[in-house]
Amino acid sequence: MLRLIAPHLRVESVLELGAERLAELGLDALLLDVDCTLKNYLADDVTPDVSAWIEQLRSAGIGMCLVSNGGGKRIRRLAEKLDLPFVAKACKPFPFGTTAALKKMNFPPARTAMVGDQLFADIMAGRLAGLTCILVRPIHPEEEPWFTRLKRPLERRLLDTKRKAESGKRKAEIRNQKSEIRNPYVAIARPDHWFKNVFMVLGVVLACFYHPELVEIGMLVPLGFALAATCLVASSNYVINEILDAPTDRNHPVKRHRPVPSGVVNVKLAYVEWLLLAVVGLAMAWSLNRPFFFSALGLWIMGLVYNVPPVRTKELPYVDVLSESVNNPLRLLLGWFAVSQTAVPPVSLMVSYWMIGAFFMATKRFSEYRAIDRAETAGAYRGSFKYYDEEKLIISMFFYSTAAALLLGVFIIRYHLELILSIPLIAGFFAYYMHVALKKESAAQAPERLYRERGLMAYLVLCVVVFVLLMFVNIQPLYDLFKVEPSQVSPLWEF
């Protein structure tokens, strides 16, 4: 609800919206409210400075149309004096009048703004029509009719709440920026993203399940070594990502404060850091065992494919999600090879793990797109956003989650039927994650902040515990119920 009455921009008067300012905002056309926006309620005409402003915009090629809830005769008289088209009795906050004006004038919604003084009329109508919404301070609100004045205290309260929230967000951004500036070369390695290597856990659990003879206290040392090597290789990928994303990150409302786009990092030194992290991480992987090394090398190469031109798959719709999420099965292999080096896990599970990662990545894209809120700005920040919209991203999320579930079902039926008892929990996790993604300023757009979603984290722990326990139990009645024979097939692809 609050999103529907939240303006994209607030100004004192329409006079602040000169042609240059509108060009900076990417706007070619304005739908203009009349009463208390262009003139005070009781006046018949606009003031000379507003009239001059309209002429300046007209000379600059800015399209304009009056959109008012006022009566037809009164609005027509003013429109004729200003030589502007109009839509009267617009029924704001419903979008009927705004959409009628867009069609009448052939204005592109992505480059059109609704300008008005009321949250519950002008801004809501603009939001519902998919326009940029600009709120102006009302002109002589004491002249307004009583039913409009009744809404003003609530509007002021909502605007104060929004102002405080924005102020808190800006302060948090500044704190984060100062922290990153103090340690910029550490920040671009993103140690706060190392938690993603938790996806290695499934590989470790599977290896222990299929090779119980390898389970001993001494395995903790190579596991820790493997985790450290994976973190360094991942950080190498993060550094090249920070370097090559800097030009587009400057178009993002938050990421523009990162060390590279804000100019506090020497780019040549950052390239040295990228190579050094890769060399050390891959050398550690080589010393562990060859299969682990080649999995770590695959993780590093996928970082190049994702970030480095001319391939740079992160700019391609759908390919961006699939190429980034392939790191999920790679991390599964890294966990597996940290324990065992003689075989690989079932392919059905690895591909399911890939699709789970794709669901998470598509959900991140969805949250990012919603947070940016304007298609043009989103497209300037990330090439794939020129194609994506909320509907396409939601459909892709449905595809990835369905594919993951079907492939997980193949693994369960073929290798360990007991895991079927975890399906309701896993399905619930997908739903819970979607719930998080739909929140305003969702943590899904920055997975390193997901720990703040305590309910989600608790639910994830429950899912993992149940899944691991079921891996190591045998429930014969399930096989009788589903008419399934216990697996007699080797679950491993031998080297």
Residue 494, pLDDT score = 41
Q: What is the 3-state secondary structure (H, E, C) of 335-397?
A: HHHCCCCCEECCHHHHHHHHHHHHHHHHHHHHHHHHHHCCHHHHHHHCHHHHCCCHHHHHHHH
Residue 495, pLDDT score = 36
| CATH topology for the 187-494 domain | Farnesyl Diphosphate Synthase (1.10.600)
- Non-local (6+) Cβ contacts of 151 within 8 A are 118, 119, 120
The mean predicted confidence, pLDDT, of the chain is 86
pLDDT exceeds 50 at position 491: no
Specify the pairing of strand 9-11 against strand 343-344: unpaired
When pLDDT is cut at 50, 70 and 90, the band that residue 340 belongs to is confident
CATH number of 2-150: 3.40.50.1000
Residue 444, pLDDT score = 86
Residue-wise pLDDT tens digits, 5-27? 788 888 889 999 998 888 888 88
Q: Does this chain's domain 2-150 share its CATH topology with 187-494?
A: no
Residue-wise pLDDT tens digits, 19-68? 888 888 888 899 999 988 998 877 888 999 999 999 999 999 999 999 99
Looking at residues 122-128, what average pLDDT do you find?
90
In 10 A of CB 445, how many CB atoms?
Answer: 19
Residue-wise pLDDT tens digits, 437-458? 888 778 888 777 787 788 999 9
Domain ranges of the chain: 2-150, 187-494
Q: Rank 157-161, 170-174, 310-314, 382-386 by mean pLDDT and report only the highest.
A: 310-314
Looking at residues 299-326, what average pLDDT do you find?
94
Spatial separation of the C-alpha atoms in residues 257 and 265, rounded to whole Å = 12
pLDDT exceeds 90 at position 71: no
Q: Answer positive or negative: Cα dihedral of 35, 41, 42, 45.
A: negative
Looking at residues 147-174, what average pLDDT do you find?
63
pLDDT exceeds 90 at position 297: yes
pLDDT exceeds 50 at position 343: yes
pLDDT exceeds 60 at position 174: no
Spatial separation of the C-alpha atoms in residues 345 and 469, rounded to whole Å = 18
Residue-wise pLDDT tens digits, 216-241? 888 889 999 999 999 999 999 999 99
Q: pTM for the complete prediction?
A: 0.65
Name the least confident of 135-139, 168-172, 426-430. Answer: 168-172
Strands (E), 49-118: 63-67, 86-87, 112-116
Radius of gyration of the chain (CA): 28
Looking at residues 294-310, what average pLDDT do you find?
95
- Non-local (6+) Cβ contacts of 115 within 8 A are 14, 17, 30, 31, 32, 33, 37, 122, 134, 136
DSSP state at residue 118: -
Are 11 and 17 in contact by the 8 Å Cβ rule? The answer is yes
Looking at residues 198-217, what average pLDDT do you find?
85
Residue 492, pLDDT score = 44
pLDDT exceeds 80 at position 99: yes
pLDDT exceeds 70 at position 242: yes
Residue 2, pLDDT score = 61
pLDDT exceeds 80 at position 147: no
